[in-house]
């Protein structure tokens, strides 16, 4: 896993004293400044990697080498096409950012259950489910003094607006272990992240996505400044 290397990791007392003398600020301010400097250096290094991979002079040029889409492609097919065919980190960064928003805002019956379902007595599954399928359910769901499934289903329905029944909870625990459910947008994020790493050689980072989109934020019809 990549780690951000910051000057504050090995602080220089002399640099700290100079900073305080020049700015009148505190040691905490120095540490914050040093972290930001380290982050900028790290981003610059990532820019160099992207430029080397794509043989371009600056990442700002990414906005001018966008993937050509098929003439008859439908709007709802564009994301999938870019995910499969794009070699442009900017396009994947934009796709990642929009998908991240979707993943965080995603709401459906299954995601509601995933976010709300707590452990329950094993006897509840035996009561409402099929005992023959107990072997398909993770034991991590069971707790002798857990909250009963009918109570949980009623609370989820009241709080979410979805009509959630005990059978929905039974079906869910047969398919998922605790904390393993991923909504469709989260699954799409994983694919984007894998595609990104395949192209540029390092893992996608939120701060680098923000940087890349800012660098490439000018209009396509502007003159390339080089």
202 falls within a domain = no
Domain encompassing residue 9: 1-55
The two structure tokens encoding residue 103? 């993943």
Mean pLDDT for the stretch of residues 207-224: 71
What's residue 12's pLDDT? 64
92 falls within a domain = no
**pLDDT exceeds 60 at position 4:** no
Instruction: Using alpha carbons, select from 149, 123, 143, 119 the residue that is nearest to residue 134.
Output: 123
**pLDDT exceeds 70 at position 159:** yes
Mean pLDDT (the chain, rounded):
87
**pLDDT exceeds 70 at position 116:** yes
User: How many domains does the chain contain in total?
Assistant: 2
Higher pLDDT among residues 21 and 195, named by residue: 195
86 falls within a domain = no
**pLDDT exceeds 60 at position 11:** no
Mean pLDDT for the stretch of residues 185-210: 96
Q: How do residues 54-100 score in pLDDT, each as one tens digit?
A: 999 999 999 999 999 999 999 999 999 999 999 999 999 999 999 99
Alpha-carbon span 119 to 178, nearest angstrom? 9
Among 152, 175, 198, residue at a domain's last position: 175
DSSP-assigned beta bridge partners for residue 142: 120
48 falls within a domain = yes
Among 175, 195, 219, residue at a domain's last position: 175
Alpha-carbon span 2 to 204, nearest angstrom? 10
83 falls within a domain = no
**pLDDT exceeds 90 at position 3:** no
User: With contact defined as beta carbons under 8 Å apart, do 6 and 38 qualify?
Assistant: yes
């Amino acid at each position: 896993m990549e780690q951000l290397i910051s000057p504050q990791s090995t602080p220089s007392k002399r640099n700290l004293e100079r900073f305080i003398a020049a700015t009148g600020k505190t040691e905490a301010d120095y540490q914050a400044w040093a972290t930001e400097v380290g982050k900028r250096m790290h981003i610059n290094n990532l820019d160099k990697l992207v430029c080397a991979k794509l043989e371009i002079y600056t990442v700002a040029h990414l906005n001018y080498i966008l993937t050509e889409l098929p003439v008859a492609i439908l709007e709802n097919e564009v994301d999938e096409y870019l995910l499969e065919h794009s070699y442009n980190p900017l396009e994947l960064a934009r796709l990642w950012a929009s998908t991240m928003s979707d993943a965080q805002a995603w709401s459906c019956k299954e995601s509601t259950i995933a976010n709300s379902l707590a452990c329950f007595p094993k006897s509840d599954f035996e009561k409402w489910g099929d005992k023959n399928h107990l072997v398909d359910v993770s034991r991590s769901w069971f707790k002798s003094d857990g909250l009963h499934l009918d109570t949980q289903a009623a609370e989820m329905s009241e709080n979410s607006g979805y009509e959630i029944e005990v059978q929905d909870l039974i079906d869910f625990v047969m398919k998922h272990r605790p904390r393993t459910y991923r909504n469709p947008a989260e699954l799409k994020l994983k694919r984007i992240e894998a595609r990104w790493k395949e192209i540029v050689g390092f893992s996608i980072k939120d701060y680098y996505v923000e940087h890349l989109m800012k660098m490439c934020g000018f209009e396509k019809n502007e003159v390339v400044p080089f």
